[in-house]
Amino acid sequence: STDDEDRQILSIEAQIAELKEFAEKERLEIIETLIEKKTAKMPGRPIFNEMMKRIEKGEAQGIIAWHPDRLARNSVDGGLIIFQLDTGNLKDLKFPTFWFDSTPQGKFMLNIAFGQSKYYIDNLSENVRRGIRQKLRRGEWPLRAPVGYINNPRTRKIDIDDDRAQLVRKIFDLYVSEKYTLVDLQKFADLKGLVSRSGEAKNKKLALASIQRILTNPIYYGLIRYAGETYPGIHKPIISKKLFEKVQEAMRMKGKANKRRTHHFAFLNLAKCGECGCVFTAQ
């Protein structure tokens, strides 16, 4: 797996090299080397599923992997491997770090290995959630810093990113003036080089949804909202609570429907702007 969440003891290249040496020693012919991008903790991996279909068609009789947890850490994929062993489509499994023999005892031990792998990932997830809850109780932001802040690896907290914070503050000021739409603010952010954290390398501009999330995120005046709960934060705010509340009121007013409409336009909501995609209104 090349998934960032799927940390490995050895690199992909090191595993492949070790497995090729192991195959030569065991006099095994490798049909193809497969590298899966998705982690084994969830079912639905495309390369894994395609491999199992090819084995069922008879293209290969076995699988060589570094460890059983590289094949499956969920009950669905683990059960599929055991089922293919039972039907005889899959003749054998080979691991440099784990003994396996296609016997009732061997399949029992393989089931235990899959179960241990699933227990490890489940327990790890629970420990991560526990750590996040503890950080929230201390008023610390537990994830990647939002736009306008930066993660401090030394303190493991978030600090204000001065250049970005000024642009975030300006976005709030422009919106509360009621002269700018979300599209206008998106163009302003793009003009000033305010890009998303995930798109920094590609210079990817902020989406409209990202602009709206900035305007509705209470973290900018000192509160942390996480999983439907709100916690007082210890980070330095970028804007005042008063400015944030003004922006929320402006958004509510813009979102209200005009109940006093006296005209009926036949082609309303059908024509869109070719540049921004917004629907034309009429009066």
Q: What does the pLDDT look like over 154-192, one tens digit per residue?
A: 998 999 999 999 999 999 999 998 888 999 999 999 999
pLDDT for residue 3: 57
In this predicted structure, the answer to whether residue 257 has a pLDDT above a threshold of 50 is yes
pLDDT for residue 201: 43
Predicted model pTM = 0.57
Which ranges in the chain belong to alpha helices (H)? 12-26, 46-56, 68-71, 75-87, 104-137, 162-176, 182-192, 208-216, 241-255
Residue 197 to residue 151: CA distance in whole angstroms: 11
Q: What does the pLDDT look like over 59-83, one tens digit per residue?
A: 999 999 988 888 888 889 888 999 9
Residue 61 to residue 51: CA distance in whole angstroms: 11
State the average pLDDT over residues 96-114: 87
State the average pLDDT over residues 242-261: 79
In this predicted structure, the answer to whether residue 1 has a pLDDT above a threshold of 80 is no
| Average pLDDT of the chain to the nearest whole number | 86
Could you tell me which residues are beta bridge partners of residue 159? 150
Q: What 3-state class would DSSP assign to 166? A: helix
Q: What 3-state class would DSSP assign to 81? A: helix
Residues 6 or more apart whose Cβ sits within 8 Å of residue 233: 139, 140, 141, 219, 222, 223, 224
Higher local confidence (pLDDT), 269 or 109: 109
Q: What type of residue sits at position 160?
A: I
Residues listed for the chain = 283
Tokens encoding 255: 């979102």
State the average pLDDT over residues 260-264: 64
Q: What angle do CA 153, 199, 7 make, to 5 degrees?
A: 55
State the average pLDDT over residues 79-106: 89
Q: What does the pLDDT look like over 135-146, one tens digit per residue?
A: 999 999 999 999
Q: What does the pLDDT look like over 197-245, one tens digit per residue?
A: 664 545 578 888 999 999 999 999 999 999 889 999 999 999 999 999 9
